[in-house]
Each structure stands twice: as structure tokens, then as C-alpha cells.
Amino acid sequence: MTAAVMASDGSYDPVISKLITSLKESEGLSDEQDLGFLQNLLQSKELNALVNVHSKVAKINKDDRIAPLLSSSMQSLLFAHDAIAQKDFYPHLPEIPVEVDEDEETIKIVQLVKSNEPLGATIKTDEETGKIIIARIMHGGAADRSGLIHVGDEVIEVNNINVEGKTPGDVLQILQNSEGTITFKLVPSDGKLDQRESKVRVKAYFDYEPENDPYIPCKEAGLGFVRGDILHIVSQDDSYWWQARKEGEKTTRAGLIPSRALQERRILHERTAKEPNGEAKKGSCASICATPPGSPNPNNPCRGPKTKKIMYDTAENDDFDRELIATYEEVAKLYPRPGVFRPIVLIGAPGIGRNELKRRLVARDPEKYKSPVPYTTRSMRPGEVAGREYLFVTREKMEADIAAGKFIEYGEYKGHLYGTSGESVKSIVNAGCVCVLSPHYQALKTLRTAQLKPYIVHIRPPATFESLKQTRTKARAKSTFDETNSRGFTDDEFQEMIKSDERINFLYGHFCDDEILNGDLTEAFEKLVELAAKSESEPLWAPTSWVQ
Ligand SMILES: Nc1ncnc2c1ncn2[C@@H]1O[C@H](COP(=O)(O)OP(=O)(O)OP(=O)(O)O)[C@@H](O)[C@H]1O
């Protein structure tokens, strides 16, 4: 189209006028609708405005008056853009000289500034090649955070000192003697091992002191802990040495701890060494019984018969327990469920005060805290009410139920069976109450299940023999070792309590969630109230299988 402009007075550009005229002349030749459409288009303001713009631009072009829009800076910018787009920004390197050995290994040089913080890596001599290699990188340590050193990297030089033929101890010496910056010359490992953190948490069942462990690869890299600590296992890559942090500790660097497999081996080794003829002692009892619960004393419905008269051998059962190898237990947080309370289980040495504390807790809020009524095969005595002191059953029925595993604890006393059924505990829990139990400590094996999820408290004697004797004497405590329950404890019985407590702690302490030193009775009870509230309201660590 040439310059056909609609004049400002509204007249059409001559070419458009011509087109409109020829359209009118062609009337009758075409479809009326098409003609109408074309006429409207040619006469429309929009088309005429466009024709107008086109004519003006064509005229300017003809006059050659359009100057280049790009300033020199704009041009530079566009050149830069093009260069980047074409990735034309690398330095131009000379061709590789022909004499370069293509087999030569890639070497990386890593510089780290020495500080008080350990490097967080261990080295070892590769058994096959004899070379010094990075054995492990501690999670969160300086080496790990640098992201430059990896497990399997070969160390060639440290601060320009060639380490070929040197021992890991020699290299450590070089590191210790160096000041300021430490420079490593390393041959990178082929594949970088996966260093992702695991989420596993374990409860430690033993104490560990790396400084006293002759086998730890690096004492400084070790993490000490005590039984009951919750450990976050960040790496189990090494089958002998795991990396862990203490749960809740701010420190970011992980430390080395013996793996479960290594610790189990050590325990077995220790036991074998202790046994005569070098053989580990076999467990001598397969079934686990417990003290008969229940009360022959109507004035104290919580009191059980005296442990002295129990018809089974406690020591044999303890041998069985000793065979269990306690290392770590995988744990997770167990959150409280509204209206469903964990049973509170008080264990401890006979006579230590479990029943006294249980009785006080139940008396404090009888609608909330309840103790299950025990079963017995003995006949009802005058003044007793079935279902209050005991649930009375025949021996046949009780034996059948014991065989069917329905009792969480049972025992025999003066020819009669006594026991607490799992069903009694469940019905208290299902009623929305807190079940409080004070069984014999060996009952823990049947009680500590995902189904019951007990919160276990170890009731322990005060720190000294004197304070144990003094508190009991002052309160005129009655000896539970005495059949008639009419005299105080003897010194031998106090000694027996302390010995028995140590044994329980050794065999079962790791199963306990908390402990109470039962010296001053008021303080011990206050602590129990506090722990009961904690078990009802706080998320607490429990075996992982209970949480799933
Ligand atoms: N802290 C304490 N101070 C003084 N006396 C206490 C204390 N704790 C418990 N007693 C008293 O010691 C005696 C034994 O306590 P309790 O019957 O509760 O022991 P137990 O652990 O249930 O033992 P068993 O299993 O042999 O029955 C009771 O007379 C009790 O009142």
C-alpha cells in the first residue's frame, strides 16, 4: 500500500477512495454480505489511522532522518550479553603439550585454618596400598563443613611434607606441630561416600569413656556418654565406629562411639574372660516368675507377701537376665494421648518403699490413680470382700491363665498362688485412669511391652547406709522381711536392701525412665507426683516399636 492518508477533515486517502468506488461498481457481482464487510473495513477509522501512520513513517524513511538508537555503552552491554550467552568468557588455554602424562592423577590442594577445634577427620593406612587415606569425616566437624575433604581421599602431603611411608601417628604429629594454615595435598577418592545424616536415636545402656578405650582410632574424636543418655546416631557407615551427638547438645560436631556390633563383641569377650574354663555361663531359667503380689494384711492393701518366702530362685532368674547383652536401644518420642495414661511401674529392692509410695499416690487422687486388685487361689477370710482385697479363683483356673500368659506377675506363697493379670491393668487404662504397679523387678520383662507402654521408676535407697537407717528408724518403719510385720528393719536387712538395689540397677536400670532416691519420704513422694505428671503430659523417649 502506498501513502493513502485519511485527511483530518474525514475524507479518505485517494487509494482507499478508489477501492471503495470499485467495490460499489462491483455490486451485483459478489455476495452482498461480503461487500458490506469490505466497505465497512475500508471506511473504518482504525484502518485509515493505520494507513496514516504507515505513510508518515515511509516519508521519514525516505528523508533518511532516522539516527541509530544505540549509544556506545548500550552497545557494550549487548556485546557482553552475547559473549555470556555464547559462554565466551573462559580464559583461552594453550593446547595441552604433547609430553604431559595422561595417567597423572588429579590432585587437590586444600587449605584449612588451624583453630582450637579439631579437624574432625581420621586417617589410616590403606592395607593394600600402604598409602595414608582419610578414614572418616566427622559430621559437622571442620573438615565436613569445608566440603573439600572426603572419605577415601589419599593424603600425599601435609604442609609440603611428603607423607609417603609415614604412619598415621607421624601425620598426626605433623598436624600438631603446624601453626596457622594447614595445607593438604590430596588425591580425591573415586566416589564420594554418602554422608547424609541418619535420624536414628538410641538410648545408651552402658557408660563409655573414649579416653579409657585403647581401641578407639582417635581418642580426641570420641564421644563419652553415660547409661541412659539419648544419642543421635548420625552415621552408621563404619561397622565398628558409629558417629553420634548427644541429643539436645548444641555442639555441631559428631563424635565416635562403638557400634552395637563392636560393643556386643566386647561384652561377650569380657564375660568369656571372666568365666572359668573360658566359657560363658549359660542362662539357667527360661521362664520368668515374680514375687507374689497382694496383701495378707487387710490394714495395708498395697503390701505384698514378704519376698524371703518366695518359692523360686531369684538368683537363677538374674543369671538369665545377665545373658541379655545391653548396648543401645533404638528410641523415639512417645507423645501423650488424651485420656490414655501410661501405667506407672515402681520397681526397687524389697522393703525400699514401693508400696508406701504407691499407696500415697492412690490416696492422693483415688479417682485417677488405681492399683489393680490381685488374684489369689487361697480362700476368702472373714472381713474380706471379693474384688476388694483379692479376686478369688481356683488353682486350676489360675494355672491355666498363667500358662496362657495372662498374668504380668505371679508367684506362690504358703501353697497359694498370687498374681496380677494383664487384663486388670488394661481395664484401668481403658477406664482413663493411671494404673500404678509395684511388681517384683523381674516382672519388667513381661510388663515392658508396646501394648502396656509402662513408665518405669526405680525407687532407690538414699546415698548412705546411715541415712537409710536413720529415716526408717525415725518413721518406725516396719520390716517387710518379717512375717508378722511387727518389728523394725535390722542392720543386715538395710545392707541387703542396698546390695539388692545395686543388683537391680545393674540388671534393669537401663529399662527405667527415672529414679527416686527414697530417703526423706515427703521429698520422695513429691518427686513421684512430679514424675507422674511428666509421664501424663510430656513427649518422652520410648522404644521405637512402641511409637509405630
Ligand atoms: N522414705 C521412707 N522413710 C521412712 N520409712 C519409709 C520410707 N519409705 C518406706 N518406708 C517404710 O518402710 C516400710 C517398708 O516399705 P514398703 O512396704 O513400701 O516397702 P516395699 O518396697 O513395698 O517392700 P516389699 O516389696 O518387701 O513389701 C514401711 O513401713 C514404710 O512405711
What the block records as the C-alpha cell of 211 is 579416653
Tell me if 124 sits within 8 A of 133, measured CB to CB.
Answer: yes
Give the Å distance between the CA of 505 and the centre of ligand 1.
19
Residue 34: pLDDT band (50, 70, 90) is confident
Rounded CA-CA distance 297/277 in Å is 49
- At 264-288, the pLDDT tens digits run 999 888 877 766 554 433 332 222 2
Mean pLDDT over residues 379-387, rounded? 92
- At 419-455, the pLDDT tens digits run 999 999 999 999 999 999 999 888 898 899 999 999 9
Strand 540-543 to 121-125 pairing? unpaired
Rounded CA-CA distance 149/136 in Å is 10
Give the Å distance between the CA of 353 and the centre of ligand 1.
3
Contacting residues for 406 by C-beta, under 8 A, at least 6 apart: 421, 422, 423
Last residue of some domain: 265, 280, 314?
A: 265
Coil, strand, or helix at residue 91?
Answer: coil
Q: Looking at the CA of residue 520, tell me the nearest atom of ligand 1.
A: 1
> Which of 91-100, 196-205, 345-354, 381-390 shows the lowest mean pLDDT across its residues?
91-100
Q: Is 471's C-beta closer than 6 angstroms to any atom of ligand 1?
A: yes
Q: Is 134's C-beta closer than 6 angstroms to any atom of ligand 1?
A: no
Kindly state whether residue 253 falls inside one of the protein's structural domains.
yes
The number of beta carbons lying within 10 Å of the beta carbon of residue 410 is 26
Give the Å distance between the CA of 393 and the centre of ligand 1.
29
Give the Å distance between the CA of 518 and the centre of ligand 1.
9
Q: Residues 344, 256: one domain?
A: no
Q: How far is CA 64 from CA 2, 4, 55, in A?
A: 18, 21, 14
Counting ligand 1 atoms within 8 A of each CB, the residue from 356, 371, 473, 480 with the most, and so the one to mutate, is: 356
Report the chain's C-alpha Rg in angstroms.
43
Q: How far is CA 458 from CA 140, 207, 316, 422, 520, in A?
A: 37, 18, 22, 21, 16
Q: How far is CA 255 from CA 115, 304, 478, 479, 514, in A?
A: 18, 47, 50, 49, 26
Q: Residues 123, 166: one domain?
A: yes
Kindly state whether residue 64 falls inside one of the protein's structural domains.
no
Last residue of some domain: 265, 293, 313?
A: 265
Q: Residues 224, 355: one domain?
A: no
ipTM confidence: 0.98
Give the Å distance between the CA of 422 and the centre of ligand 1.
25
Domain count within the chain: 4
Q: Residues 513, 482: one domain?
A: yes
Q: Residues 490, 535: one domain?
A: yes
Q: What is the CATH number of the domain that holds 165?
A: 2.30.42.10
Rounded CA-CA distance 420/410 in Å is 6
Q: Residues 500, 539: one domain?
A: yes
Kindly state whether residue 162 falls inside one of the protein's structural domains.
yes
What the block records as the C-alpha cell of 34 is 461480503
% of the chain beyond a pLDDT of 70 = 77
Q: Is 524's C-beta closer than 6 angstroms to any atom of ligand 1?
A: yes
Q: Is 354's C-beta closer than 6 angstroms to any atom of ligand 1?
A: yes
Kindly state whether residue 213 falls inside one of the protein's structural domains.
yes
If one compares 79 and 314, the residue with the highest pLDDT of the two is: 79
Residue 12: pLDDT band (50, 70, 90) is confident
Give the Å distance between the CA of 472 and the centre of ligand 1.
8
For the chain, report the end-to-end CA distance as a whole number of angstroms.
81
Q: Is 518's C-beta closer than 6 angstroms to any atom of ligand 1?
A: yes
- Given a cut of 90, whether residue 203 has pLDDT beyond it is yes
Q: How many CA atoms lie within 13 A of 22 on its CB side?
A: 7
Kindly state whether residue 94 falls inside one of the protein's structural domains.
no
Residue 10: pLDDT band (50, 70, 90) is low
Q: Looking at the CA of residue 519, tell me the nearest atom of ligand 1.
A: 1
Q: Residues 359, 504: one domain?
A: yes
- At 446-492, the pLDDT tens digits run 899 999 999 999 999 999 999 999 999 999 999 988 877 789 999 99
Last residue of some domain: 432, 447, 478?
A: 432
The full 3-state SS of 425-460, as one line of letters, equals HHHHHHCCCEEEECCCHHHHHHHCCCCCCCEEEEEE
Q: What is the CATH number of the domain that holds 380?
A: 3.30.63.10
Q: What is the CATH number of the domain that holds 449?
A: 3.40.50.300
Q: Looking at the CA of residue 518, tell me the nearest atom of ligand 1.
A: 1
Q: Looking at the CA of residue 462, tell me the nearest atom of ligand 1.
A: 1
Q: Is 356's C-beta closer than 6 angstroms to any atom of ligand 1?
A: yes
Q: How far is CA 348 from CA 343, 352, 363, 456, 504, in A?
A: 16, 6, 21, 10, 7
Coil, strand, or helix at residue 323?
Answer: coil
Q: Is 305's C-beta closer than 6 angstroms to any atom of ligand 1?
A: no
Kindly state whether residue 16 falls inside one of the protein's structural domains.
no
Q: Residues 452, 421: one domain?
A: no
Predicted pLDDT at 513: 96
Counting ligand 1 atoms within 8 A of each CB, the residue from 413, 472, 476, 504 with the most, and so the one to mutate, is: 472
Q: How far is CA 195 from CA 26, 150, 237, 279, in A?
A: 85, 9, 9, 41
Q: Residues 344, 426: one domain?
A: no
- At 111-142, the pLDDT tens digits run 887 777 778 888 888 887 888 988 888 888 88
Q: Residues 450, 541: one domain?
A: yes
Give the Å distance between the CA of 84 and the centre of ligand 1.
85
Kindly state whether residue 498 falls inside one of the protein's structural domains.
yes
Kindly state whether residue 115 falls inside one of the protein's structural domains.
yes
Q: Residues 352, 463: one domain?
A: yes
Q: Residues 463, 489: one domain?
A: yes
Domain range for 210 is: 201-265
Mean pLDDT over residues 332-344, rounded? 95
Residue 17: pLDDT band (50, 70, 90) is confident
